[in-house]
Structure 1
Amino acid sequence: MGSASSMLTQYDIEEVQEHCNDLFSQQEIVSLYQRFCQLDRNAKGFISADEFLSVPEFAMNPLSQRLLKMVDGLNFKDFVAFLSAFSARASMQQKSELIFKVYDSDCNGKVSFNDILEVLRDLSGSFMSDEQREKVLTQVLQEAGYTRESYLTLDDFVKVLGSYGVKMEVEVPID
């Protein structure tokens, strides 16, 4: 699995499956490997931020700049592990952990009111004023028992998010 141009062996496939908690079938891993190789234009064995931005759906995502911090320089194994949170078979906990990392931009293990506000700003753009965003966020936090001054850990974050549900899935096309 060193170079992106090499072929996957059965051992490699099983190793990647284990690394992503068996959330992808062997066929899906082979398809993901083909896509990885397409993205890894220089066959370096990892995907750069620029290569990720060549995926239109990724580039158009309002959170792409935040996601780029998480995906820049991923090798194939870590690429599949990252995508596993988007699997239909991923648990709510796995999805929540990824979303938490998106909000926790300084990687301190806590999400502040301002961290959430920044993401809301990215998501809503000019459709909402800062005042509207702050009002909505304050209300959501209050309903979950938190204040503007609260710092949310992952467990707190899941508690707040849990009542709203999370839908984030990608389908892996199998050739």
Structure 2
Amino acid sequence: MGNSSSLLTQYDLEDLQNHCSNLYSQREIIALYERFCQLDRTSKGFISADEFMGVPEFAVNPLCQRLLKMLEGLNFKEFIALLSAFSARATKDDKLKFIFRVYDTDGNGKVTSSDMLQVLRDLSGNFLTDEQRQSVLNQALEQAGYTVDSALTLLDFKQVLGKADLKMDVEVPVD
């Protein structure tokens, strides 16, 4: 173990495993902690927006601004809980809850059609017109039994995306 991992005690590792619903092994938690310490360039115990933007894969993500709102100022315990949705052991339900949080930008527990359109705008850039995005959204909602005026709760959101094949697994490299 490197210097940063030696700061985690066995108790810390067990507590962190419980906190992330055992979706990461202790070795994966140590690897994530070392990465967290690398990102926390100021050693303040949390990661700032600027530090997150220093990760090239994150900076080029079309949803990076939405994700920054969720990630800004996270300590390690919050960081690992958030990342647990990307574990290969995470359930589809875990992944859908994370996606819902990305869409629910104001944190009111509902996703509106304007929230969904903004995500589509972020994802599609100039490849789709506003009319095409609206058409895609209308079709998806209609197929799930909703209208553009619907504000989706987490349960509704799961119904709309429940059949989607979610590829969100990120492997944590361990030494």
Count of residue correspondences: 172
SS in 2 for 1:46: coil
Moved more, 79-88 or 157-166: 157-166
Matches for 1:21-170 after TM superposition, within 5 Å: 21-170=21-170
Cα distance in 2, alignment partners of residues 161 and 115 from structure 1 = 15
Cα distance in 2, alignment partners of residues 30 and 106 from structure 1 = 33
Is the 2:5–2:30 contact (alpha carbons within 8 Å) kept by the matching residues of 1?
A: no
Give the TM-score, by structure 2 length.
0.95
Is the 1:46–1:73 contact (alpha carbons within 8 Å) kept by the matching residues of 2?
A: yes
Is the 1:109–1:153 contact (alpha carbons within 8 Å) kept by the matching residues of 2?
A: yes
Give the TM-score, by structure 1 length.
0.95
Task: Summarize the Cα distance change of 1:5–1:22 in structure 2 as closer, same or farther, 3 Å threshold.
Answer: closer
How big is the shift at 1:162? 1.1
Cα distance in 2, alignment partners of residues 100 and 120 from structure 1 = 14
How big is the shift at 1:6? 6.6
Fraction of identical pairs, as percent:
65
Deviations for 1:58-86, whole angstroms, at most 9, x for unmatched residues?
Answer: 11110000000001111111111010000
Is the 1:71–1:79 contact (alpha carbons within 8 Å) kept by the matching residues of 2?
A: yes
Cα distance in 1, alignment partners of residues 84 and 19 from structure 2 = 10
How big is the shift at 1:7? 1.1
SS in 1 for 2:86: coil
> Once superposed, what is the RMSD of the aligned Cα atoms?
1.2
Runs of 4+ in 1 over 6 A off after TM superposition: none
How big is the shift at 1:164? 2.0
Deviations for 1:94-116, whole angstroms, at most 9, x for unmatched residues?
Answer: 11111001111111111111110
5+ unaligned residues in a row in structure 2: which ranges? none
5+ unaligned residues in a row in structure 1: which ranges? none
